[in-house]
């Protein structure tokens, strides 16, 4: 069995073929609803996947190059577009790195930091409900699909109340956030949290206890702890392999050191463990939101920045725990109004590294479940 991380060996024009030993090579995607904007070239022997080569790049849009041609503010709308499920978690490290270059890190008002935390946690829940929804599609469990999408809608509308947009918020800017919370926002957010907490139990009963869902997810796509670290995996995929790592705890940014929460992790490393991590994280996000709303005091939410922003000459590296794992930005500035170089490092592109290895040996019917449980979103990975 080939266990290298090599993704290559791609034919220019793909043709399905049967080898003399009876192995069939099929293209899984890129239009397949289970594969996203990518394809996996599967070599299957009977029902078992012998090799799976991910072919990525269908949605590469050159974010790193575009960043060099836009000002620090103009970069915000387009860097959050690759990851529409987690636009706050994708923008936040960029903003934190930019603030380091502007010497603003210490000056951001407390209320702005709390609002950023609220938005980041809401976005984490939005992503996790979406995860559960699509997991339902991939397992053929259509009830969970509609529930996940419906519960996500509640949070999206709450976020839209404050930010004015449903998924691409463009809300966090250098110096703070763009607006204060509107009238009735906290009330509705807490109400939604109460409701969603009751839903978490429903998901546990319906998805984690369900014997058919367990049969689909248990013991498939196992990632060992050593592999998870060596391949640099991130987020729920890493924690589902028994590594209790979370940037919010490891290197607290914003005011995460003032709130109490747990980092759920399971040692099994299979698709079920990763799903459990997602569901538990929803609970932890609700706990964080309740603490943050209790701590918020009236005050300024932004340092007004006049004129064009110019970073000081130097570099800055910032990382945050996005919904799908560690997102980080490395920005080099040459003192211009445009960044000199921006390196975007998303959790999705890190989780791609192990896809070939983890798909080897699973059954064809399990490929969608394993693929989705890896928390790999092609658009954010291709950048």
Residues of this chain, 183-202, that bind other proteins according to CB under 8 A: 188, 191-192, 194-195, 198, 202
Q: Per-residue x/- mask for other proteins, residues 281 to 310, rule CB under 8 A?
A: -------------------xxxxxx-----
Neighbours of 72 (CB within 10 A): 27
Among positions 124, 152, 274, 319, the unique one binding other proteins when judged by CB under 8 A: 319
Q: Which two tokens stand for residue 178?
A: 């763009």
Q: Which two tokens stand for residue 376?
A: 């790999």
The rounded distance, in Å, linking the Cα atoms of 375 and 219 is 17
Start-to-end C-alpha separation, the chain: 31
Question: Residue 118, interface with other proteins (CB under 8 A)?
Answer: no
Quick one: 62 or 298, whose CB is closer to other proteins? 62
- To which residue do tokens 């949070």 refer? 155
Residue-level length of the chain: 383
Asked whether the beta carbons of 356 and 7 are under 8 A apart, the reply is yes
State the nearest-atom distance from the C-beta of 3 to other proteins, in Å.
Answer: 11
Question: Residue 165, interface with other proteins (CB under 8 A)?
Answer: yes
State the nearest-atom distance from the C-beta of 22 to other proteins, in Å.
Answer: 28
State the nearest-atom distance from the C-beta of 54 to other proteins, in Å.
Answer: 10
Question: Residue 15, interface with other proteins (CB under 8 A)?
Answer: no
Parallel/antiparallel/unpaired status of strands 17-18 and 24-28: antiparallel
Q: Per-residue x/- mask for other proteins, residues 17 to 56, rule CB under 8 A?
A: ---------------------------------------x
Q: Which two tokens stand for residue 315?
A: 């570099």
Question: Residue 330, interface with other proteins (CB under 8 A)?
Answer: yes
Q: Which of residues 65-104 bind other proteins (CB under 8 A)?
A: 65-66, 69-71, 73-74, 76-78, 100
Please choose, out of 58-66, 121-129, 258-266, 282-290, the segment that lies near other proteins by the rule CB under 8 A.
58-66
Question: Residue 360, interface with other proteins (CB under 8 A)?
Answer: no
Please choose, out of 125-133, 249-257, 265-273, 275-283, the segment that lies near other proteins by the rule CB under 8 A.
249-257
3-state secondary structure (DSSP) of residue 44? strand
CA angle 214, 215, 218 (to 5 degrees): 65
Among positions 42, 83, 88, 154, the unique one binding other proteins when judged by CB under 8 A: 154
Quick one: 165 or 365, whose CB is closer to other proteins? 165
Among positions 23, 32, 34, 64, the unique one binding other proteins when judged by CB under 8 A: 64
Question: Residue 210, interface with other proteins (CB under 8 A)?
Answer: yes
Quick one: 46 or 312, whose CB is closer to other proteins? 312
CA angle 309, 73, 341 (to 5 degrees): 80
Dihedral pair phi/psi, residue 340, rounded to 5°: -80, -40
Find residue 322's DSSP bridge partners.
325
State the nearest-atom distance from the C-beta of 239 to other proteins, in Å.
Answer: 12
Quick one: 45 or 201, whose CB is closer to other proteins? 201
- Contacts from 306-313 at CB under 8 Å and sequence distance 24+? 308/71, 308/337, 309/71, 309/72, 309/73, 309/98, 309/102, 309/174, 309/337, 310/335, 310/336, 310/337, 311/72, 311/98, 311/101, 311/102, 311/335, 311/339, 312/101, 312/102, 312/103
Among positions 24, 137, 296, 332, the unique one binding other proteins when judged by CB under 8 A: 332
């Amino acid at each position: 069995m080939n266990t290298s991380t090599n993704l290559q060996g791609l034919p220019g024009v793909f043709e399905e073929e049967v080898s003399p030993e009876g192995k069939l090579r099929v293209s899984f995607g890129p239009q397949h609803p289970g594969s996203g904007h990518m394809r996996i070239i599967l070599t299957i022997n009977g029902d078992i996947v012998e090799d799976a080569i991910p072919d990525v790049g269908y949605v590469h849009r050159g974010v790193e190059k575009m960043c060099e041609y836009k000002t620090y503010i103009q970069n915000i709308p387009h860097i959050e577009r690759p990851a529409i499920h987690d636009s706050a978690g994708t923008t936040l490290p960029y903003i934190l790195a930019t603030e380091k270059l502007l010497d603003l890190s210490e000056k951001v008002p407390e209320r702005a930091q709390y609002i950023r935390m609220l938005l980041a946690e809401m976005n984490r829940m939005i992503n996790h409900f979406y995860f559960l929804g699509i997991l339902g599609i991939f397992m053929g469990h259509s009830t969970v699909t509609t529930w996940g999408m419906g519960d996500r809608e509640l949070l999206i509308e709450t976020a839209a109340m404050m930010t004015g947009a449903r998924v691409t918020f463009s809300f966090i800017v250098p110096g703070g956030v763009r607006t204060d919370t509107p009238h009735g926002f906290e009330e509705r957010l807490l109400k939604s949290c109460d409701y969603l907490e009751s839903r978490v139990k429903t998901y546990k009963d319906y998805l984690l206890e369900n014997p058919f869902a367990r049969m689909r997810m248990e013991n498939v796509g196992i990632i060992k702890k050593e592999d998870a670290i060596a391949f640099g995996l991130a987020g729920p995929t890493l924690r589902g392999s028994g590594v209790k790592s979370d940037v919010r705890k490891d290197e607290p940014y914003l005011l995460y050191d003032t709130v109490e929460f747990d980092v759920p992790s399971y040692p099994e490393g299979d698709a079920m463990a990763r799903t459990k991590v997602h569901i538990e994280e929803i609970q932890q996000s609700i706990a964080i939101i309740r603490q943050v709303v209790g701590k918020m005091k009236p005050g300024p939410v932004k340092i007004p920045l006049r004129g064009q922003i110019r970073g000081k000459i130097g570099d800055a590296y910032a990382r945050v725990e996005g919904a799908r794992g560690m997102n980080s930005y490395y920005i080099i500035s040459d003192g211009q109004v445009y960044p000199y170089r921006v390196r975007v490092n998303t959790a999705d592109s890190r989780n791609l590294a192990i896809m070939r290895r983890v798909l080897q040996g699973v059954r064809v019917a399990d490929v969608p479940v394993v693929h989705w449980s890896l928390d790999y979103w092609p658009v954010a990975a291709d950048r």
